[in-house]
Structure 1
């Protein structure tokens, strides 16, 4: 019931169009059921000798056409009337199809836009855990399932109901006993359709999930195509996809078997019902209980009635699929949107940051950061060193409010971070991630992404700071060079430097390099850091790195181990301690010395 209400909710703004489609199918159905009555009257009263009834729509129509005598001599008038009714019926069927399609397409568009908008506003934590392939499948295949149901089967429900109502009323008015004979199989077919609905809904749930799983494998493979090629894992990936595909094929076959059972058994019941009407009707006609015209009407109506009822199985099957699709889409829409605190503070951000006893955990009982305290002044450079999993990136994510700290306090220019509008603070913090993402656009468009109104001079300036300007000019099309999807046409260092330029163009007062200088060589690393120092309106800079040469010139170096600060100070101060920083420096220094010795020997 909940899912049906959700479908009704999705139809908002298009309900009147759907009503127009249902009214059109109602009129078309009414005109359609008049044809057999005209044929009955022609057989019984125009060609035959059965007197016309005193009242009724058909009697009125006969009188308007000139009466029985005129029609006996001009049967073409009846044929013309049937043609005109058929044309008018066709017009209303066209209107039904057009209105239903327009409404369905508009509804699907609304669902897609609502889904996309909602996904854009879900917390970072949700996207970290969600499977991209599954989300794509829900936004495409599931929406298409709903569109097909609303565009075709939804209106057909109205057709079946109208057909059942009109034909039942007419048949009862003609002959009650014959009507009861004609309706024997109807409840059986309907019950069979309900049972089929329950089975097909469960089957489609598994089918849809297997399709999502297969989409995830495909998406991962295409995204990681470099890794697959680099490790020659094509055979493994093919086997993995074939396994998912085999499961999907098995579930598809199960659905096909269910459909085959339904159509074959429902066909069998329908054929039995029609045979029963013919046998009983022929016998009663021979005995004079009903007229030949009545027999023709009942056999015609039987075919018209059984088809939509039998079709209810398909309608119910598609409804089952649509309800499953609605459930999967609603699972996304039910996820709470990220609270942006749009009514929060929007203070002037200069870059003064203070951590006081900050603790954070992703899972309860498993703290990632423990009692972190330090202070950064505007324009300072802070370096962060620590083993993998020590909480370096998490600390940065807390500043950008991708996650909210559970204990302690973070103040930015004297304002508690939790009271500052998320959108506002994120505009003021530029983060260059370890794994940069570039869009399938030109290099210039990628750099301008964070500030679309920036001039070419601004683009060139930040590209120079990121030490990528000259490299770009060497490309055939310069800044207009198209970047492949995810930046595959650029090297790792080039992608990283374009990402740095993209972040710097925002002129954020706080800039974070999350191990993002690791993909560039030491010389380029030094050039970028020197350019940042000489930049006007120098930003407060956080540099996460394992390279001591990158960290050594920072105003303050923070060493994190197991979520705690174990050392803090400048390079000179930390070198006097027997801690992690000194050990890393000694290891890297010895490796560099060894490399120089080997190089000297080779010369």
Structure 2
């Protein structure tokens, strides 16, 4: 029920439309029940000559047009009455469909907006654990499941209630004994529908989770298609997809079997109930205990009575599926936001940074950073070297407040990092990742994303510093060249340089290069670093790299091993004492000597 309380919240702003839709289907139901009564009056009174068993106000209306004798002479008027009643029924059914569709589409739009907004603001750690394919399914398939329920089934609940009340009340007024017979198996059908709902709900959850895995495999394969081709792993990928697909097919087949079993058995019970009504009704009609018109009404109403009962099974089935979808949507909406503390500070950031005895560990309890202490002055360049898993990127994540440190202190220009507004801080820090992400847009559009309203001269200047301007202008369409999804049409080095240019456009006082020069050659690497120095002297720069040539000109070099700073100093100092930095320097120098020999 908690999930459906969430649905009630989603309906805010559209509840009146649903109320109007339910009222419309109620009016349509009333007119649909009047048609069999007109047919009964025509058979029993107009044709059969029996006394009319109808309310007094109906008799007054009939008498005003000449009574039953006039209708007997102009029996086509009864046909027109049935047609008019059906027409009015159709008009209100149309309004029901229109209003429920408009409301459900509006709610689906609001849900997608809420989910997208939430995913923009959840913590960075959430995406480390989440699967992209599963998130896509929750924002599309699960939302569409809720939309279909709101559009088709929610209003049908009102219709079913109206039909049950109308059918039972009219049938009791006509013949109590026949009404009891008509309802003999209905409690059993309803009980069967309820038990079925409890069974099928788990199957819907299994199918949704399996579909999420299938979507994830497909998304990963399409994203990593170049890796698949490069290692000739197409057959492996086909087999992996086939395994997940077969599991999904098996779960869906099981679900369809449950559906087929339900509808076939409920059809049997419904037909059995109808058969009982027809057999006993014919017997009582022949024996004179009931009129032919009443038999026609009961056989017609029996179908109307059984429909909402059987429909209850479908409603409960879709309700189960919707409950599962709402639960998966709610999991996203309940995620913790990457929120700022109240009244976060917005200091003038210059770039003076101090780490003091900082420790950090992830949720799994493994400590990643141990007693990190160092100082950086405004405009200095800090280089970080270390093996994979030593904590280099995590250190920069703390500075960017993607994670918050547990103990110790990080200060920027004397202000504690935790007290600085996150959005303000991130606007002042430019970061270029090792695997830069480019959108499937033009190069110019990707660069403009860094700063709203940036002029073209600024774009060209940043591209020149990143040594990518000449490459871009050599393309047929220049800066209007489409880069393809994730920048697939550019080489690794070109993507990194476009990402560097994008970061430079922000003109931040702090720049972070997280191994983002790894895909460019050493000559271009040196040229970019030289251009950066000439561009602005007061930008504090962090460079993570495994190239000694890239690190050697830094004002401060940090060597990290197993989450600790094991060496610290300038290039000239570190190469003259034993340690990881000297070993890597010797290995890289040896390789260069071999290549130049």
Deviation at 1:3, TM superposition (A): 1.7
Aligned residue in 1 for 2:491:
491
Map of 1:138-157 to 2, 5 A cutoff?
A: 138-157=138-157
* Structure-to-structure mapping, 1:281-296, within 5 angstroms: 281-296=281-296
Q: Which residue of 1 aligns with 2:588?
A: 588
The residue that corresponds to 1:300 in the other structure is 300
Report the 3-state secondary structure (helix = DSSP H, G, I; strand = E; otherwise coil) of the residue aligned with 2:344: coil
Kindly report which structure 2 residues correspond to 1:63-82, keeping only aligned pairs within 5 A, or say none. 63-82=63-82
For 1:373, what is the secondary structure of its paired residue?
strand
Per-residue CA deviations over 1:525-565 (Å, capped at 9, x if unaligned) read: 00100000001353100001110000000011111111111
Equivalent residues in 2 for 1:152-551, closer than 5 Å: 152-341=152-341, 343-363=343-363, 365-536=365-536, 538-551=538-551
Q: Give the Å deviation of 1:308.
A: 2.3
1:91, 1:64 → 2: CA distance? 27
**CA offset at residue 251 of structure 1?**
0.8
Distance 1:361 1:303, change over 3 A: same
Task: Give the alignment's TM-score, normalised by structure 1.
Answer: 0.97
Local SS of the residue matching 1:341: coil
Q: CA deviation at 1:186?
A: 1.0
The 3 A distance-change label for structure 1 pair 141 and 364 is closer
Structure 2 unmatched runs, 5+: none
For 1:281 and 1:272, how far apart are their aligned partners in 2?
14
CA distance in 2: counterparts of 1:546 and 1:306, whole angstroms: 74
Query: Residues 484 and 342 (structure 1 numbering): CA distance in 2 closer, same or farther, change over 3 Å?
Result: farther
Shift of 1:157: 1.2
Report what 2:95 is aligned to.
95
Cα distance in 2 for residues equivalent to 1:83 and 1:125:
64
Q: Distance in 1 between matches of 2:275 and 2:288?
A: 20
Cα displacement string for residues 70-125 of structure 1 (whole angstroms, at most 9, x for unaligned residues): 21211121111111111111100100111111111111111111111111110000
Structure 2 CA distance, aligned partners of 1:195 and 1:459?
65
What secondary structure sits across from 1:360 in the alignment? strand
- What RMSD over aligned residues (CA atoms) do the two structures have, in Å? 1.2
Structure 1 position 334, deviation (Å): 1.1
Provide the residue aligned with 1:27 in structure 2: 27
Residue aligning to 1:566? 566
Partner of 2:84: 84
Do the aligned partners of 1:178 and 1:281 also contact (CA within 8 Å) in 2?
yes
Tell me the matched-pair count: 597
Tell me the TM-score normalised to structure 2 length: 0.98
**Separation of aligned partners in 2, 1:259 and 1:61:** 48
Taking the aligned partners of 2:43 and 2:217, their CA distance within structure 1 comes to 65
- Gapped runs of 5+ residues in structure 1? 598-603
Q: Distance in 1 between matches of 2:22 and 2:252?
A: 32
Q: 1:56 to 1:317 in 2, by over 3 A?
A: farther
- 1:56 is displaced (CA, Å) by 4.7
Secondary structure of residue in 2 paired with 1:434:
coil
Cα distance per residue 1:294-337 (max 9 Å; x no partner): 11110110011112221222221111111111111111111111
In 1: Cα distance, 2:418 partner to 2:569 partner: 28
CA shift digits 1:414-449 (9 cap, x unpaired): 110000000010110111001110000100111111
Q: Offset of 1:406 from its aligned partner?
A: 0.1
Deviation at 1:54, TM superposition (A): 6.8
Distance 1:369 1:67 in 2: 96
> Matched residues in 2 for 1:136 and 1:364: separation?
26
Counterpart of 1:601 in structure 2 is none
Distance 1:389-1:210 versus aligned 2 partners, 3 A rule: same
Q: 1:129 to 1:189 in 2, by over 3 A?
A: same
TM-superposed deviation, 1:583: 1.2
Question: 3-state SS of the aligned residue for 1:383?
Answer: strand
Does the 8 Å CA contact 1:342/1:422 hold for their aligned counterparts? no
Alignment partners' CA distance in 2, 1:576 and 1:250: 65
* Residues 532 and 538, structure 1, Cα contact 8 Å, conserved in 2: no
- Higher mean alpha-carbon deviation, 37-46 vs 540-549, is at 37-46
| Matches of 2:255 and 2:566, distance apart in 1 | 61
Deviation at 1:452, TM superposition (A): 2.6
